[in-house]
Amino acid sequence: MPNNEWGDFQTPAELAEMAVASLPSGKWRRVLEPTCGHGQFLDATRSLGARVERRGIEIQASYADQARNRGFEVLQRNIFELDLGRDVEWSLDGPLLVIGNPPWVTSSQLGALGSINLPAKSNIRNLRGFDAMTGSSNFDIAEFILLKLMLELIADRPTISLLVKTQVARNVLSFAEQFQLPYSSFSIREIDAKKWFGASVDACLFTMAYSARPSYECAVFSSVDAVQETHRIGVVAGRLVADIGRYERTAFADGACQLEWRSGVKHDASAVMELSLARIHELGLESSYVFPLLKCSDLFRGRLEPSRGMVVPQLSFGEDTAHLSEDAPILWSYLHENAKVLDGRGSSIYRSQPRFAVFGLGQYTFAPFKIAISGLHKEARFVARGPVDGKPVVVDDASYTLSFDDSSEAAVVLALLRSQPAQDLLASLVFWDAKRPINKKLLQRIDLLAVARELSTDEIVHAARATAQEFGIAEGPSDASALSRLTRQWEMRARGLASDASQRQPAQLELI
C-alpha cells in the first residue's frame, strides 16, 4: 500500500529489474534515483557493473536508512529544496542515468493531507511562468519532478527513466516540445499498475535521453519487456497526436472546425434537475422549463428515446430566475423545496449567478436538431437527434453537441463526421485512456471543409440522405443544395482560418 503522506508506491524488485533491462544501451558511470525509498532501482542497476557510482535522494529517514543499509549513498533531503545540478555531489564524471519511481499524487491531494512534501514553484529555477506550465494550482508531483530533472540536469546530459502515470508522460512530452528542451529517444512502456501496485491507473516506464538534436516522437510499447513498438505518439505542428503513422495519412483534415462544438447543460445537481418522465408528470412541473434529456451513456449506447427530462430554470445564460415565482410557480416551489442541494453546489461558478442557475446555455441549447457525442466513452460515436414532441433534446455536461435549425444541414455534417477521413483523424488524435477522451478542443480540430473536399459530392449526399432519417425527417432532395450552401460558407471562412493558424509562434524558454 502507498504511503499517502508522501504519495509513494514502493517498486517491486522484479519490476525494477525489468525496467533496467529495458533501457537503451549505455555505459553509465553514475546512477541517480530521486525519491529512492529503500533503493530498489539502485539495487537493480548493479547489473550495470561495479564501476558505477550510485546516489539516492530520499526525504524519509527510515527509507534513507534502509537504502544506506544496502550500501548506497543517500542524500536525506526534500528533492523540492535541491538544485539537482549543484547539490548532488559526484566523485566520478561520465554518463548519468536517472531512474526511479516518483510519487503518483497531485499537489492538491498532498495539500489536503497537510503534507510538507510539496514543491515551491520557484524551485524550477530555469523557467518563468510555472503556473502556465502546470495549468492550475493542482499539478502532478511526478510531472514536477520530471521537469525539474530535465531542466536542472541538462549540463549532465542525462538519460531519464521513471515510472509515472501515462498522462504525465504525455504532458512532459508536450512541454519538452513547447520549450524545445534538448531531449529525444522518448519511449513509453506500458505497465500493469493494478498488478504491480494495486492502483487503477494507466502507468508506464517513461524514458528519454539528452540530445543536441532533439526529437519529440515517442515510441509506445505494450509492456516493459516488449521488443517491438506498437506505434508512435508525438508533437506535430505544436499539437500532440496519438498515432503519428495514422495521423500522417489524415493530417489534411486537422485544422479548425467551421462550426462550434458546445458542451451540454451543467447543473451539478442530478438528483434535483434530472427526473424520470413519470416523476415530472407527477410533480406537474411547467413544461416550458423541462426538456427531454439524453445523457452521455444514452448517446454511447444508442438509447435515443429519452426516458428522463432535465429541469432548465433559465432559457438564456445569466437570466434572472425570480420571474419563475409568477411564470412557473410549481417549478419555483420545487426549486425552493430543493434549495439546500442547489444552494450547496460547491463550484464557484454559481456564486455570482442568479439563484438556481445552470451553465451551458445559449440559443444552441434549444435548437431543434443536434449531433451529439459522449465525451467519456472510448469510441467516437456521433448520433443524431431531432425534437421530441416538438421540444429540443438537451444533453448533460459530459456530452458535446453541434446544433442546427436546418435538418438538411445537420444531415450533411453528420455524414461528414461519420466519414472515413474524419473517423481516421479522430483515431489518430484520441488517447483513449484519458479521463475524458473526447473533448471540445479535440472536436474543434475536425476541418469539415477539408473532409468534404476529400469526398465526392455523391458520397456525401448519399450518406446525408441516410442520416436525415435519424433526425426524424423524411429523406429529401435538399441534401445536395445543403452541401453546396455549407461548403460555400466554409470556403469564405477558410482563408481567414488558415491565416490565423499560420500565426502560431514557438514558445520560448527564458533562462534566469
Q: Which amino acid is it at 37? A: G
Per-residue confidence band for 8, with pLDDT thresholds at 50, 70 and 90: low
Enumerate residues 6+ apart whose C-beta is below 8 A from 308. Answer: 274, 275, 276, 277, 292, 293, 295
Helix 479-501 vs helix 407-417: angle between axes, to the nearest 10 degrees?
60
Contact 186, 247 (CB under 8 A): no
**pLDDT single digits (tens) 153-186:** 999 999 999 999 999 999 999 999 999 999 999 9
pLDDT for position 87: 94
**68: nearest Cα among 86, 52, 55:** 55
Please provide the average confidence, as pLDDT, over all residues in the chain. 88
Write out pLDDT tens, residues 299-357. Answer: 999 999 999 999 999 999 899 999 999 999 999 999 999 999 999 998 888 988 999 99
Cα gap 117→102, rounded to integer Å: 12
Q: Band the pLDDT of 237: cuts 50, 70, 90.
A: confident
Which has the minimum average pLDDT: 136-150, 203-217, 309-323?
136-150
Per-residue pLDDT averaged across 33-46, rounded?
95
Q: Which three cell numbers stand for residue 186?
A: 522518448
pLDDT per position as a tens digit, 219-230: 999 999 999 999
What backbone torsions phi and psi does residue 170 show, to the nearest 5 degrees? -65, -40
DSSP string, 290-323: EEEEE-HHHHHHT--S--EEEE---SSTT--STT
Whether 23 and 97 have beta carbons less than 8 Å apart is answered as yes
- Residue 375 to residue 360: CA distance in whole angstroms: 15
For every residue of 224-240, DSSP letters joined together read TT-SS--EEEEEETTEE
Buried b (16+ CB within 10 A) or exposed e, 349-359: ebeebeebbbb
Helix axes 141-152, 166-178, angle to 10 degrees: 40
Cell 510538507 locates to 116
Reduce the DSSP state of residue 209 to 3 states and report it. strand
Distance CA 481, CA 478 (A): 5
Question: Which residue did the predictor score with more confidence, 10 or 345?
Answer: 345
Question: Is 291 exposed, middle or buried, given 0-12, 13-18 or 19+ CB atoms closer than 10 A?
Answer: buried
The reported pLDDT for the residue numbered 501 is: 53
CB–CB of 77/105 below 8 Å?
no
pLDDT band at 50 (very low <50, low <70, confident <90, very high): confident
Domain boundaries, the chain: 13-241, 262-317+358-501
Q: What is the CATH number that goes with domain 13-241? A: 3.40.50.150
* Residue 164: Cβ within 10 Å count: 26
